[in-house]
Amino acid sequence: MSIKVFTVDPSYDRPFPDPVDINHRVFSGGEIDVRIVNGVSNNPARRLCILAHVWSAEDLMTLVLITEALRKIRGDGPIDLIMPYVPYARQDRRCNSGEAFGLKVIADMINRQGYRAVYTADAHSVAAGAVIDRMVDIPAVRLATACVFPNRRGVVSDRLITAIVAPDAGAEKRALEVAIAHKLPLIQCIKHRNRGGQVIGVRSATTITEEHGSNWLVVDDICDGGATFSTLHSTLTSAYAGRSFKAISDSSNVTLSLFTTHSIYRNGTDELRRLYTGGLFSANVSEKADDYTKNVVQGSLDPNDWCAAALWT
């Protein structure tokens, strides 16, 4: 089950003790049943915290049912929700007549649960903070630092990262924050889509100079199928090949690495690993990803990491 409940000591000396024991099953008709077995402290000073990786409608329904069961045990005591991935954040507006405003629907469901705070991770849309009550978003710079720069050096493929890449305008703010935090130059790219929303091209808007080096980290919030990053690879390798400087110490090829806060990897990781030889990094890999993918992707945060990132934000 992708949802866990913890009792958190207010001192935070040990953010996550053992999780609350919950029985979970799905009936043949699709209905979900949950039961809190034990582990919920009766001490009102201890906060309840739900860590919910919501990747499906079943996950969302399970979250609501667990919340209701906890309310029955603890009454109106405060419950924190850590929900790293905000479902439907990519459906953050009504673009055409007859469409549903998915993010608002999800927000209404979350708001009705009355959480003390809702901690999210690098939410795809700023609209999420406008419609989800008491939402606190953990910025990408903190997540990328934890996953890729644990010792502030950012060593990838045995070499220091020399530049941060924003794959499109939407990623510019988060990539710039990572670049500033680690005193690295930013390479800005621009993505082009057709009317159907498919990526048809990516171009670099930055002139590559000697300060950019040859070991670049791409920073974005979501990797779904990976088409954007496959196209981006060609753009970046061409930009590096066409650079104006040719220092003797130059590598003949640029080494690329990829950090995405949330990773679905709908098409697997074989192609991305071939292109991004510096490594794939992600704070939050989808439960839908196969075990092989989960093992090859670096940096995934465990429950203790999410607790620290959220409750200390």
Q: Which run of H or of E encompasses 64? A: helix 57-74
The mean pLDDT value for 66-71 works out to 92
Question: Whose CA is closest to 171, among 185, 184, 187?
Answer: 187
**Identical fold between 3-139+304-311 and 142-301:** yes
Average pLDDT over every residue of 178-183:
93
How many Å apart are CA 278 and CA 60, to the nearest integer? 35
* In the predicted structure, residue 14 carries a pLDDT above the cut 60: no
3-state SS of the chain: helix, strand, coil percent to 5?
A: 30, 25, 40
**Which residues make beta-bridge pairs with 82?**
51, 119
* Most confidently predicted of 91-95, 151-155, 251-255: 91-95
User: Percent of the chain beyond pLDDT 70?
Assistant: 84
Let me know: does 84 contact 306? Beta carbons within 8 Å.
yes
Structure tokens at 52: 């919910």
**What tens digit of pLDDT does each residue of 19-38 get?**
788 899 999 999 999 998 87
Four-CA torsion 209, 215, 221, 226, nearest 10 degrees? 110
Q: Residue 100: what pLDDT?
A: 86
User: What is the Cα–Cα distance from 285 to 296, expressed in whole angstroms?
Assistant: 11
- pLDDT tens, 188-236? 988 766 666 665 456 677 888 888 888 999 999 999 989 889 989 988 8
Distances (CA, A) of 94 to 82, 90, 105, 162: 27, 11, 12, 40
CATH architecture under which domain 142-301 falls: 3-Layer(aba) Sandwich (3.40)
Question: CATH assignment of 3-139+304-311, given 3.40.50.2020, 3.40.640.10, 2.60.40.1180, 3.40.50.1580?
Answer: 3.40.50.2020
pLDDT, position 153: 47
Cα–chain center distance at 128: 14
Whether residue 286 has pLDDT greater than 80: yes
Domain map (residue ranges) of the chain: 3-139+304-311, 142-301
215 contacts: CB under 8 Å, gap ≥ 6: 156, 157, 159, 160, 161, 162, 163, 254, 255, 257, 278
Separation between Cα atoms, residue 84 and residue 81, nearest integer Å: 9
* Residue 157 confidence (pLDDT): 45
Please, which residues bridge with residue 3 across strands? Answer: 52
